[in-house]
Amino acid sequence: MRKRALKDPLVTKNTFADELGISATTFWRRRQDGLVPPPVRIGRRIGWPRSVVDACKLEMGWPEEAAEAGSAP
């Protein structure tokens, strides 16, 4: 079976935390507090769809261009 490029690729916990500019520990605290949505499982992979990451960053007050680019403000 061939791997296909995902239209909405999964973002790992470390990448998500890096994009928010926080540590992995702080990331999980925010996850437990409900500030970060729960991850999804696709096969053996666990992560957040890119669209969910961008939407979460916008809710946290990130500028739209920075959220879409996956970079810090």
Domains of the chain in sequence order: 10-69 (1.10.1660)
Q: Give 43-58 pLDDT, tens digit per residue.
A: 999 999 999 999 999 9
Could you tell me the sign of the dihedral formed by the alpha carbons of 36, 17, 5, 54, in that order? positive
Residue 22 sits at φ, ψ, to 5 deg, of -130, 165
Q: Which token pair is 28?
A: 């999980």
Q: Give 14-72 pLDDT, tens digit per residue.
A: 999 999 999 999 999 999 999 999 999 999 999 999 999 999 999 888 776 655 665 55
* Residue with the larger pLDDT of the pair 35 and 2: 35
Q: Which pTM does this prediction carry?
A: 0.75
